[in-house]
Amino acid sequence: MTRDGRFAPSPSGTLHVGNLRTALLAWLFARRAEARFLVRIEDLDPGRSRREHEQRQLADLAAVGLDWDGPIERQSERHELYRAALEQLRAADRVYPCWCTRAEIREAASAAHAPLPEGAYPGTCRELTAAQRAEREASGRTPALRLDAGAERVAFDDRLHGRVEGVVDDFVLWRGDGTPAYNLAVVVDDGDQRIGEVVRGDDLLDSTPRQLLLQRLLGLRAPSYAHVPLVLAPDGRRLAKRHGAVTLEDLHDARGWEPADALGWMAVSLGLAEPGERVTPALLESRFSPRRLPREPATFDAADQRPR
């Protein structure tokens, strides 16, 4: 298995320095391993995805010095692969329709006694009688399609977090609006592109057991994982545009920052440079070691632009 990596943004807005820092880390993991680095656009949501956002994101990646291998892949152009995976799971009798609303899911989950994570789906529609299913079908509402996961416990070794395990709930594979769900699409994409190491924010750590189970059911080889710390705002929440000047464009307009200044901040926050030092991705690659990465999140303050 290679160490090929990827960065897979959703084109629903402009990347901020936290997104770019995760992209830099994914690039460093791959390049340090002399592996490919791919960019995939996760544009499954037609209501939020915009081609102009995609173009801006790619331009910002290039502006801080990141390059990638091969053509840009877009999830919106890969529905046939997702449908084939869904049919494979359906043939294995691991798929069932679900008509539950969000309110019903919250109510059922609070009453469930199964060893599932908080907020997980307890399998309500999996247990429907024939009459109950017929009643829901007659409602005319298109159901989502869920995986029958069997409350399976899945464990893996993360390169930063060590041993992690979780119980997998019956998560959605295909939405009622006809859109493939994230977990199905990302597993199919990583398998098809032969991604060997997934480097992403640690807010996605809890979703990994779901993806590992899907990989096994679909006969795909599992990549290794490294869930890296996020960038937070001074209020302790995950960094977002509501926190002010956090994108390259906004930082340039508000503070006169150039992309090299943003790269320098990222390098300092990762312990790869001294404050004020001018760096390049190639220099950071020569200094990079996964074992020396910070395990705690960095804080970005748009008022002073210093990690804490």
Q: Is 100 annotated as a binding residue?
A: yes
Tell me which residue has tokens 């890296």.
228
Burial class (CB in 10 A: 0-12, 13-18, 19+), 67: exposed
Coil, strand or helix: which one is 96? strand
- Continuous H helices in 64-176: 79-91, 102-111, 130-138
Q: Quick check: 85 and 188 in contact, CB under 8 A? A: yes
Q: Is 77 annotated as a binding residue?
A: no
Q: Is 182 annotated as a binding residue?
A: yes
Q: Is 200 annotated as a binding residue?
A: yes
Q: Is 153 annotated as a binding residue?
A: no
Residues 6+ apart with CB under 8 A from 113: none
Please report, for residues 7, 97, 118, 202, 285, the alpha-carbon distance to residue 22 in angstroms, rounded to integers and kept in the order given.
8, 36, 27, 10, 14
Q: Is 96 annotated as a binding residue?
A: no
DSSP state of 230: P
Q: Is 56 annotated as a binding residue?
A: no
Q: Quick check: 194 and 2 in contact, CB under 8 A? A: yes
Tell me which residue has tokens 């993806």.
211
Q: Which is it for strands 172-174 and 144-147: parallel, antiparallel or unpaired?
A: antiparallel
Q: Is 126 annotated as a binding residue?
A: no
Q: Quick check: 225 and 197 in contact, CB under 8 A? A: yes
CA atoms within 13 A on the CB side of 9: 28
Q: Is 98 annotated as a binding residue?
A: yes
Q: Which is it for strands 95-98 and 144-147: parallel, antiparallel or unpaired?
A: antiparallel
Q: Is 216 annotated as a binding residue?
A: no
Q: Which residues of 74-84 are buried (b: 16+ CB within 10 A; e: fewer)?
A: bbeebeebbee
Binding residues: 6-10, 42, 98, 100, 121, 125, 182, 200, 241
Residues making up the annotated binding site for Zn(2+) are: 98, 100, 121, 125
Cite the annotated binding site for ATP by residue number: 241
Annotated binding site for L-glutamate: which residue ranges?
A: 6-10, 42, 182, 200
